[in-house]
Copies of this chain bind each other. A is one copy, B any other.
C-alpha cells in the first residue's frame, strides 16, 4: 500500500495530515507535477484524471480524490474518528468539510492557477477570474473568523477533517499572498491551535 503524491500540493498535505492523526505509516512516492509526470500514461493508468494524490492498494486497486482516500482510512482505521461518530455528526462534519473545500480551497486554487501562471502550459489563465477568487478568499477568512468566535473547531467542539481542509487551504493561500490578519483573533487562535498539532508537520 502506498500513496502517490506531490509533497507541496495542498491536497496531498490533507491526506498526509489525516493519516498522521490516525497514526498510519505508509510509503509516499513523489510525482513531479511541474514536469507533468501526473499526465504520463503510467500515472494515468492509476488515475485517468491525472490528479494527485492517489492511494494504491496492495492488489493494485487505486483510489483517487483526497477525501475518498481519507474516507477509506476512516473506515479501516476508525480511531481517532475525524469524520464524526454518528449520522448527525458525520453529516455536519461533511457539511463543513465541503464548505471549506468548495469555497475556501477551490478559491485559493483558482486564484493560484489564474494569477501565478504555474500551469500555463496546460490551461488558459484568466486574470480577472483569479482576482475575483483572491478577493473571495479574503472575505472567506473574515467569515471564518466570525464563525470561530463561537466554535472551537471548524465543525464544532472537536477537531475533524474540516479543520484539515481549512488549514491546508489557508496555509496554501500564502502563494496568493493572503493570510489571516492579526485583527482576526478567532481565526488566529484556531490557526495556532491546529498548526501546533504534530500532524500539521506531516
Contacts and interface: CB of A to CB of B under 8 A. Distances in A.
A45 interface: no
Given A98-B65, A124-B132, A71 B49 contact: no
A63 B95 contact: yes
A72 B91 contact: yes
A184 interface: no
Contacts of A99: 49, 64-65
A124 B127 CA distance: 13
A32 interface: no
Measured as residues with beta carbon below 8 angstroms from the partner, the interface class of chain A is 20 to 34
Interface string A42-56: 000000110000000
Interface in A22-81: 48-49, 57, 61, 63-65, 67-69, 71-72, 75-76
A112 to B, nearest CB: 15
Contacts of A49: 99, 103
Contacts of A199: none
A129 interface: yes
A95 B98 CA distance: 14
Chain A to chain B: the 8 pairs with minimum beta-carbon distance, closest first: A75-B87, A72-B91, A68-B94, A68-B95, A129-B129, A65-B95, A65-B98, A68-B91
Interface of A: 48-49, 57, 61, 63-65, 67-69, 71-72, 75-76, 87-88, 90-92, 94-95, 98-99, 103, 124, 126, 128-129, 132, 143, 147
